[in-house]
Structure 1
Amino acid sequence: MLQSNSIKWLLLSASAMALSACSESDTAVSKPQQAKAAQVETQQPAVKVTSAAGASPSVAQPAPETGAAEPTNPSVAVEKASDTSEEAAALNSAQPAPSEDAAATEARLRRVIAQQVGNVPIDRISPSRLPGIYEVVAARQVIYISDDGRFLFPGPLLEVSQGQLVSLTEATLREIDMEKAPQRAELISQVAEENMVIFKAPKEQYVLTVFTDVNCVYCRKLHENMQGYLDRGITVRYLAFPRDGIGSAAYNKLVSVWCAKDRQLAMDNAKLHNKFSATTCDNPVADQYSLTRQMGLNGTPAIILANGELISGFMEPERLITYLNSKANTQVSENR
């Protein structure tokens, strides 16, 4: 069986965000490190990837270079040799039987995953577009397994279609995510606008709700582009998401914004100038943080569309308006 750290790596690799976002685990990283990471990201060449489900385009970064292979440890080699018979038996049991039906295949692969990874809740197993490879949806993430059970790996699984790379993994993730969209839309509808920090577009076409953390480099990047969103008819309504939790420094900073007489100015000062006033009052920050727990959000900025769809991360104004217009046009076509 794979070690627990291998299991964690597999699921974390599968859950890597396609867009630029600050995860809750990022809060342990210092601000200089975050800034350096953002600078490196902008310098990396990128490959455009499109979701098979028509989801927002993502950016795939080049894989890091690896060093020379590590020398073989004799003791590890001996241990591996002693496990050969057990591994062979496991592989034999994983082999597909002749004329195996879909239900039998799924049951067999579930047993293989349980043997190798442990008791991970599996939502479904289905054939992928790649022959001989099955898609496994587990813990709201996507991983892949070969038909014979020998290979288990995270995505993304990319398909070349009409000269473009199409992310089949992202399409499945969007499908999974959209199952929670109605719940998110309902929860947000219960939040009064007076408890938000709103930047309203003069010629409003779309209204987005954005969960934000003042310590997140990508939240600051989004705010730096605020005029671009407003000029394109996109209203931004901020809700608070202190990733470090209630009572943290990030929480106190957000409280100071929500308690300011001019919330827009306070947000500008916080995001653009890193300036805060030690102000407290009866505020909704804790309640809004509770919403992120109910929605299962784990990163910022978390952009929620009117229908509850989630965009996890920063998206430039032009790219975002193109996506929103595309969705609107598709909706019009479907309603005809």
Structure 2
Amino acid sequence: MGRTVISVRNIFSSLVLAGTLLPALASAQTAPDTLTDSLRINGQKVPVADVSQTPMDGLYHVQLDGGESFYANADGSYFVVGDLYQNDSGGLVNLSEQDKNQERVAALAAVPESERVVSRGVDEPKATITVFTDTSCPYCTRLHESIPELNERGIAVHYLAFPRGGMQSPAARVMQQAWCSDNPGDALSQAFSNETLAANASCDNPVAKQYALGLEMGVQGTPAIILPDGKMVPGFVPPKRLSAMLGLDD
């Protein structure tokens, strides 16, 4: 049976259409257990993956199975959608973005290196970036052409596939062929150079899984660069600037 997907947008659309507030939930459980086990909207159970306390008293971060999230009070009778900021002496700190970064780090750690296409150069890398790429994307081509300089600067590049047009697109088929080749790195370079790959290359490849992961992590275009701390940087970044962002010496 397929999993029911409920988006934050649909949640609040249903609330507006219904014109009602949620009834208070039972208070016998702790707030995380209550929100995880009993959170319902208009009678429909919400698929909650995780609930965690925020620094604000009485406010909880609710993560859905599909990757979306919002904030709720202890019994789920009030919701807040948006980013949570901490206002301290150093300025505003986006706590929501920090949470997203940590989630990306954890999600990427679960992807085995055998399913990535890795370019690390000769020397031990000083930093590693993960890039969701698409062989039909001009800016991905520019980033791919900059890999030798990135490697020279001590930056290893780990590729994951993200066909922008979906899994039925020509780029998805090309990347599946690349990941199935004897040397995926060389095959990707050929694809970025508009060379035709072997049409009969096929295997149990991770392209669809990586595409789904990118969607869950909020990738909307390519290249999408994930820094070691989980921060996502959209688009092409020149090697010198990327090196500075990673805190490496020029």
Q: Read off the aligned partner of 2:158 and give its amino acid letter.
A: R
Structure 2 match to 1:288: 210
Structure ranking higher on relative contact order (CA contacts 8 Å, 6+ apart): 1
Task: Give the drift of 1:247.
Answer: 2.4
Structure 1 match to 2:137: 216
Q: Could you tell me which runs of 5 or more consecutive residues in structure 1 were left unpaired when the two chains were aligned.
A: 1-120, 127-170, 329-336
Contact 1:224 1:272 in 2 (8 A): no
Q: Read off the aligned partner of 1:304 and give its amino acid letter.
A: I
Tell me, what secondary structure is at the counterpart of 1:325?
Answer: coil
* 1:319 paired residue among 233, 241, 247: 241
Q: Could you tell me which runs of 5 or more consecutive residues in structure 2 were left unpaired when the two chains were aligned.
A: 1-79, 86-91
CA distance in 2: counterparts of 1:210 and 1:268, whole angstroms: 15
Structure 1 match to 2:48: none
Q: Read off the aligned partner of 1:280 and give its amino acid letter.
A: S
CA distance in 1: counterparts of 2:151 and 2:196, whole angstroms: 23
Cα–Cα, structure 1 residues 265 and 186, in superposed 2: closer, same or farther, change >3 Å?
A: same
Task: Give the drift of 1:243.
Answer: 1.0
Q: Does 2:118 align with 1:198?
A: yes
Structure 2 match to 1:130: none
Task: Give the drift of 1:181.
Answer: 0.5
Q: Read off the aligned partner of 2:179 and give its amino acid letter.
A: W
- Residues 102-117 of structure 1 mapped to structure 2, 5 A cutoff: none
CA distance in 1: counterparts of 2:165 and 2:234, whole angstroms: 18
Pair member with larger Rg: 1
Q: Does 2:115 align with 1:181?
A: no
1:290-313 CA-partner distances (Å, limit 9, x unpaired):
101211210111111122111111
TM-score, normalisation: structure 2:
0.60
CA distance in 2: counterparts of 1:224 and 1:298, whole angstroms: 22
CA distance in 1: counterparts of 2:84 and 2:128, whole angstroms: 37
* 2:177 paired residue among 245, 249, 256: 256
Structure 2 match to 1:243: 164
Task: Give the drift of 1:192.
Answer: 0.4
Q: Does 2:220 align with 1:298?
A: yes
- Residues 4-153 of structure 1 mapped to structure 2, 5 A cutoff: 123=82
Cα–Cα, structure 1 residues 286 and 232, in superposed 2: closer, same or farther, change >3 Å?
A: same
CA distance in 1: counterparts of 2:84 and 2:204, whole angstroms: 48
Contact 1:185 1:307 in 2 (8 A): yes
CA distance in 1: counterparts of 2:236 and 2:222, whole angstroms: 8
Question: Between Structure 1 and Structure 2, which shows a larger proportion of helix residues?
Answer: 1
1:29-83 CA-partner distances (Å, limit 9, x unpaired):
xxxxxxxxxxxxxxxxxxxxxxxxxxxxxxxxxxxxxxxxxxxxxxxxxxxxxxx
CA distance in 2: counterparts of 1:189 and 1:125, whole angstroms: 26
Contact 1:177 1:310 in 2 (8 A): no
CA distance in 2: counterparts of 1:224 and 1:210, whole angstroms: 14
Q: Read off the aligned partner of 1:180 and give its amino acid letter.
A: K
Q: Read off the aligned partner of 2:111 and give its amino acid letter.
A: V
CA distance in 1: counterparts of 2:160 and 2:189, whole angstroms: 15
Q: Does 2:191 align with 1:275?
A: no
Task: Give the drift of 1:257.
Answer: 0.6
Larger mean Cα displacement after TM superposition, 274-283 or 254-263: 274-283
Tell me, what secondary structure is at the counterpart of 1:179?
Answer: helix
Tell me, what secondary structure is at the counterpart of 1:308?
Answer: coil
Task: Give the drift of 1:255.
Answer: 0.2
Q: Read off the aligned partner of 2:128 and give its amino acid letter.
A: V
Contact 2:83 2:95 in 1 (8 A): no
Task: Give the drift of 1:175.
Answer: 6.5
Task: Give the drift of 1:123.
Answer: 2.7
- CA RMSD across the alignment: 2.4
Task: Give the drift of 1:176.
Answer: 5.0
